[in-house]
Structure 1
């Protein structure tokens, strides 16, 4: 009789023990809405692209995905919120290049070690910048720009959307690799910088392709290079800076991250769902029209990009003694 009762208890306890053991089947997921947090304000290209990808992911997951904008601290407000969230798959981060930049530029911001505190799930997209100049500047190529800057040290004003932004680091990479002396003029965003480029208060800048396209088409500015290693569909006739400075690349990216400790089955499903979204040809075409190259890459690819950019931008920031304004 005692053996019979113990047997029944053992059988009743078995399901709970099975679920508790790592590596075995997890309860069904998801059963409610998922939140994807972004560190950028609503309406911008990063926000629009995040929402487009989230909408496509909803089809596979069968649950709503809510994009939550948590702006501040050079995107650290958003990334810290996710790093500290429960690792249950319901709070995710659309992380960006700032994860690779902040540890060197602003080491007091959290998460201080994104590689340890966040779990990369996959790459979402990459977008390069266009190097365009005021037409009064007598240069039509990167070699001519470098020659002009060397002949006129300290006289060429280069704008950016802010200290530590990827387009500022693109300038710093150009400055260090080409050995030129130019003045960096930081702005609060690309739009005010473009206003001053139009009026020749600054003479050049790396700018998001979609922002640069109208003024280049109208002849208000002149595009002379792109910051990716390959040509961009929006600027098919504009060569990469890398044609002049081999290895040059400065690209803004975003990818999906989760809190560290997310169960492997959930992580795998999210990676697969993101892959399906980024392989959607309609989504790729719509985003390409806005200068965004939707790319597919798993968690390992995202981890590699984060590690490489953390090294690249960290070394660049330290060599240039770059400090936030």
Structure 2
């Protein structure tokens, strides 16, 4: 009889062989899905080229200047170029939509602002319609308060006197703003409602026109960012009455919080935070967040921006996510209550 070299299927030897094979397979490392493997590899080597921060305002403004200062500091930590690209238009929707639809590889980021929270209610047809889902928060950057200042010809020197003057002249005191639905305008709407006054809102196409008309006496008052109002007040062309934050503004220590006179006013600020496309790998988000934190914690950067009335904020993704959610709710309520609509 010739030797049988194989073992029939189903014999105890064959069963043992199969069990050994299955055991070996289970003990081997599980392979990642292709998309996750690529993301992991990309985050390991990231950044391999320049990173672009997109912002929705023209060059030279507050957001643009701040973005460039922060980008300069982030580049040192990332050891890569970080460039700022201006894409103004559609209440910053052009920039936000472009980033939301960009490749989620960390190379295209958004310097988002308060408009992300306002647009949700004021212009619901603008994209991204759900920034909290279409963008990934990375971290906070800054906030800036507003100063309520008036033309010197107005016979008022305090917020209380302004409220009394408005009540004595219903519908006659003209408040300018950079435009309907701007943070300055919404700040005015809160002031108007909480103080119980009737005023005339004069919207402009940008803050420059409102400030120049205030200086010329063509309007009576404006809520304006600290860094924008500063030159007019210091030159004596306008008179500051109060500030929109309870902590006060170091550059103007003599100006009291508006909430001291109008308790329901609370606080109003214009804020800025860094976002990425929603599907950006967590490892990349962490790297960007680390670079951002180091930038916003830098004493030289903080001092440089404080001189312009800007409060640099150090806050992680969770802080920015919470800020976006609370601001979306707040401004939505203000817009609906005041029945604000774009013409």
Which residue is 2:186 aligned to? Answer: 169
Flag structure 1 segments of 5+ consecutive residues without an equivalent: none
Deviations 1:208-239 (A, max 9, x none): 21221122122221100011222112211101
Q: 1:129 aligns with which of 143, 146, 164?
A: 146
How far is the alpha carbon of 1:27 from its aligned partner? 2.9
- In structure 2, stretches of 5+ residues that fail to align are 1-19
Question: How far is the alpha carbon of 1:200 from its aligned partner?
Answer: 1.5
CA contact (8 A) 1:18 1:24 kept: no
SS at match of 1:127: strand
238, 245, 259: which one aligns with 1:242: 259
Structure-2 residue corresponding to 1:60: 77
Q: Deviations over 1:184-203 (max 9, x none)?
A: 00111111111111121100
d(CA) in 2 for partners of 1:321, 1:19: 46
Aligned residues: 319
Contact 1:121–1:270 (Cα < 8 Å) also in 2: yes
- What is the aligned partner in structure 1 of residue 100 from structure 2? 83
Q: Is the 8 A contact 1:87 1:263 kept in 2?
A: yes
| TM-score of the aligned structures, taking structure 2 as reference length | 0.88
Q: Please point out which of 256, 259, 269 is paired with 1:251.
A: 269
Matched, 1:218 2:235: yes
The match for 2:287 is 269
Compare 172-181 and 22-31 and name the one that shifted more: 22-31
SS of match in other structure, 1:154: coil
Which residue pairs with 1:306 in the alignment? Answer: 324
1:63-121 CA-to-partner distances (Å, cap 9, x unmatched) read 10111111100000000000011111111000000000001111110001111111111
TM-score, with structure 1 as normaliser: 0.92
Does the 8 Å contact 1:19/1:25 carry over to 2?
A: no
Displacement after TM superposition at 1:15 (Å): 9.0
* Structure 1 residue 46: Cα displacement: 1.2
Distance in 1, Cα, partners of 2:157 & 2:150: 9
Q: 1:288 aligns with which of 291, 306, 312?
A: 306
CA–CA separation in structure 1 for the residues paired with 2:91 and 2:33: 43
Give CA-to-partner distance per residue, 1:135-182, whole Å, 9 cap, x none. Answer: 111111111111111111101000011111111111011011111100
Match of 1:31 in 2: 48
Matches of 2:222 and 2:267 in 1, distance apart?
15
Contact 2:42-2:105 at 8 Å conserved across structures:
no
